[in-house]
Structure 1
Amino acid sequence: MSQSPIAAQPSQSQPSQAKDPFSPNVEDLYLESYAFTTAAAIVGSVDRKVFVLLRDGRNLFGILRTFDQFANLVLQDVVERIYLNDEENSPTKFGETYRGVFMVRGENVVMLGELDIDKEDDHLENLKQISFEEAEKELKIVHEKTIKEEGIKGKKLLSKGLINDFVKSDLY
């Protein structure tokens, strides 16, 4: 038995229309309405300013240039910022430094979010800026205290037959 080939449908040409530079094209509307559940969810943030929180507690602000299926990121014009809290755990001081181009392994990303460039620095008006080196020293003390407290907590839980999932690299 022979099979007949499928006839190709003739393409229908549409009259060319002048494209409005301010109206989104169909592909953009489709991507924005599609609910991505993988690393592709960040496709809309490419070439936009983003905030990235890393597992080691670092806060990075920069322009997302590209990413891959593992959520490995390439950020440009990165600024690293350290927030220091008071006793009530609300930020009172910060230090920041320019880092340039930054590559981040996807497994180290805790959170990524797009920033509103008109409002991103508004909260800094209420905080005291200190040198980045001073902020790093203070943060190191805070991290050492956290590691010690989590170690004690882990031993208490273990004595009751429970485990604590704390890892020293998880300081966010």
Structure 2
Amino acid sequence: MSETDSNVEDLYLESYAFTTAAAIVGSVDRKIFVLLRDGRNLFGVLRTFDQFANLVLQDTIERIYLGSEGSDDLSKPERFGEAYRGVFMVRGENVVMMGEVDIDHEDEHLEVLSQIPFEVAEKELKSIHKQKMKFEKAKTKKLLSKGLINDFAKSDLY
């Protein structure tokens, strides 16, 4: 076997560590989770993407996770609401995080949560976001008075 033959293996896509939108290529036609800058959680089948990481999802479900009633702590969800969204296009700049979903275990965590109507969950989440915006606005004012800046954008609610 020549030295050239041993280098042929290095030409396959799987052997490269992509740091661009090309890293998504292995997730096409698989179920993925996408966290958006506005805090929405999307679950769907990735059908295609482009060089800007714009995504097209099929059979998309939007899911909202909430803490216990009256709590704005979203780190320990106790309730959830979900709505079918169908085909969904996501602009790449709005993606915070994405990853493949293990379809054998994707719903296990929902068994310990209570499902509520999506409209109720959406209304409660908007209230939580409104409180967060108010808090961040006050924080920004306080920091500005000391000559500092707050790196919070109102579209970043994840």
State the TM-score, normalized to the length of structure 1. Answer: 0.81
Q: Deviations over 1:42-97 (max 9, x none)?
A: 10000000000001000000000000000000000000000012445310100001
The residue correspondences of 1:1-172 to structure 2 (distance < 5 A) are: 30-86=12-68, 87=71, 89-172=75-158
Query: Partner of 1:9 in structure 2?
Result: none
How far off is 1:133 after superposition?
0.3
Uncovered stretches (5+) of structure 2, i.e. residues with no partner: 1-7
Aligned to 1:53, the other structure's residue is in SS state strand
Select the structure that is richer in helix: 2
Q: Which amino acid in the other structure matches residue 123 of structure 1?
A: H
Partners in 2 of 1:33 and 1:91 — Cα distance?
Answer: 38
Partners in 1 of 2:152 and 2:67 — Cα distance?
Answer: 21
How far off is 1:143 after superposition?
0.4
Q: Deviations over 1:120-167 (max 9, x none)?
A: 110000100000000001001100000000011111111111101111
Identity, in percent, stands at 78
Aligned to 1:40, the other structure's residue is in SS state helix
How far off is 1:33 after superposition?
2.4
Aligned to 1:120, the other structure's residue is in SS state coil
Query: Partner of 2:5 in structure 1?
Result: none
Uncovered stretches (5+) of structure 1, i.e. residues with no partner: 1-25
Q: Which has the larger radius of gyration?
A: 1
How far off is 1:32 after superposition?
2.2
